[in-house]
Amino acid sequence: RPRVLSGIQPTAGSFHLGNYLGAVRQWVALQETHDAFYMVVDLHAITVPQDPKELRANTRLAAAQLLAAGLDPDRCTLFVQSHVPEHAQLAWVMNCITGFGEASRMTQFKDKSAKQGADRASVGLFTYPILQVADILLYQAHEVPVGEDQRQHIELTRDLATRFNGRFGDTFTLPKPYILKETAKIYDLQDPAVKMSKSASTPKGLINLLDEPKATAKKVKSAVTDTDTVIRYDVAEKPGVSNLLTIYSVLTGTTVPELEEKYAGKGYGALKTDLAEVMVDFVTPFRERTQQYLDDPETLDSILAKGAEKARAVAAETLAQAYERVGFLPAK
Ligand code: AQP
């Protein structure tokens, strides 16, 4: 079976609809066909300040949401990044073969550090993509299911893997991004020109999966569309409506042309009312299942412990090989 690896940050508490449609939904599907490794990336989370107590709680909460979304610990390996020390260890090696200029060109770093003020951004935020490179290479992943915003980091992973292999001998598998066109980028409901994101979206434009379903319905109903009235998928001319159609289509399994036909001659109000209902039907059981996992932290922790053990077995082997290739003297 080909292998996939991906991760999600435990930073915001609730996952948002972009995280789910862009990434987690694919993770669930891929566990059926791939040898799948999924992790809660707490090492990545501390690249920006975190409250320790909240980080711990949010790490469990992220794992609970992944299980609620449909990850099955018998079908995939689910773990917490900091439980596998090899991530930080390989990241150091990869840091040392990355050019400063190369790392400086990562757009996510540029955006995020600009927001914080360049002097206040941590060095960790700067090397975040290189930790991500290590995450992927440790598992010799063939594919990495992510949203469009991560494409550049997967490119960097390929570049660094190629460099390492060239310099030290074949060690790492070159991964490919696994990005589904329809859901590669889910947009803010209030500003369909920008990606839905926990840090950039306005509260009204961001659908958090753990919000009160009623509040979610309200956000859908007040989504920004356009002054036209026709329900048609056209990202350039009608980004707001197109975003709603994408969300509707993916959550219900109805194709976009089917939806266009269903709503021919109807107004935006009808589309939004129906989508609000679809969304409520989706988030209500999701919230309940998440709560069930949170109510049983022992089971949750034991799933994560088993996951870490399985992950470490793979990661340790790759790290040992990389260490040997680089020329580190083995510890006896
Ligand atoms: N709007 C989105 N559309 C599609 N995919 C998305 N992802 C995030 N936003 C969208 C994908 O979700 C996965 C987990 O991402 P993360 O843990 O890196 O979360 P994030 O990047 O912190 O999420 P945000 O909201 O985008 O955070 P900020 O605002 O801090 O940048 C990834 O696969 C990502 O592509």
pLDDT tens digits along 229-282: 999 999 999 999 999 999 999 999 999 999 999 999 999 999 999 999 999 999
Give the 3-state secondary structure of residue 14: coil
Q: What confidence score (pLDDT) does residue 231 get?
A: 96
Closest by CA position to 112, among listed 202, 22, 203, 200: 200
CA distance 29 to 190: 30
User: How much is the average pLDDT of 189-206?
Assistant: 91
Looking at the predicted structure, is the pLDDT value of residue 204 above 80?
Answer: yes
CA distance 170 to 246: 41
Alpha helices (H) along the chain = 17-19, 25-30, 42-45, 52-69, 86-95, 100-104, 107-116, 123-138, 151-168, 213-221, 239-252, 256-262, 268-294, 297-326
Query: Catalytic amino acids?
Result: 112, 195, 198
Q: What confidence score (pLDDT) does residue 332 get?
A: 85
Looking at the predicted structure, is the pLDDT value of residue 201 above 80?
Answer: no
Closest Cα to atom 23 of ligand 1? 197
Looking at the predicted structure, is the pLDDT value of residue 185 above 90?
Answer: yes
Determine which of 67-71, 161-165, 174-178, 201-205 has the lowest per-residue pLDDT on average: 201-205
Label residue 129 by pLDDT band (50, 70, 90): very high
Q: What confidence score (pLDDT) does residue 35 get?
A: 98
User: How much is the average pLDDT of 21-46?
Assistant: 98
CA distance 200 to 187: 11
48 lines ligand 1 (CB under 6 A): no
Q: What confidence score (pLDDT) does residue 12 get?
A: 85
Residue with tokens 């991906």: 6
CA distance 205 to 202: 5
147 is in an annotated binding site: yes
CA of 18 from ligand 1 middle (Å) equals 7
Label residue 61 by pLDDT band (50, 70, 90): very high
**Per residue in 79-107, pLDDT tens?**
999 999 999 999 999 999 999 999 999 99
23 lines ligand 1 (CB under 6 A): yes
Can you say whether residue 75 is alpha, beta or left, with left for phi > 0 and alpha for psi between -120 and 50 degrees? alpha
Label residue 114 by pLDDT band (50, 70, 90): confident
CA distance 255 to 100: 45
Structure tokens given for 123: 């060095």
pTM: 0.96
State which ligand 1 atom lies nearest to the alpha carbon of 195.
1
CA of 325 from ligand 1 middle (Å) equals 34
Q: What confidence score (pLDDT) does residue 116 get?
A: 82
Q: What confidence score (pLDDT) does residue 67 get?
A: 98
User: How much is the average pLDDT of 1-16?
Assistant: 96
Packing angle of the helix pair 86-95, 297-326 (nearest 10 deg) = 40
Alpha helices (H) along 99-138 = 100-104, 107-116, 123-138
Looking at the predicted structure, is the pLDDT value of residue 119 above 90?
Answer: no
199 is in an annotated binding site: yes
- Within 8 A by CB and 6+ apart from 196, the residues are 16, 17, 18, 186, 187, 188, 189, 205, 206, 207
For a mutational test of ligand 1's pocket, the pick from 8, 11, 15, 19, i.e. the residue with the most ligand atoms closer than 8 A to its C-beta, is: 19
Determine which of 67-76, 110-119, 148-157, 169-178 has the lowest per-residue pLDDT on average: 110-119
Give the 3-state secondary structure of residue 194: coil
CA of 10 from ligand 1 middle (Å) equals 11
Mean pLDDT of the chain: 96
198 is in an annotated binding site: yes
State which ligand 1 atom lies nearest to the alpha carbon of 199.
29
Q: What confidence score (pLDDT) does residue 56 get?
A: 97
User: How much is the average pLDDT of 168-174?
Assistant: 98
Give the 3-state secondary structure of residue 230: coil
CA distance 204 to 129: 30
Determine which of 29-33, 114-118, 228-232 has the lowest per-residue pLDDT on average: 114-118
User: How much is the average pLDDT of 53-67?
Assistant: 98
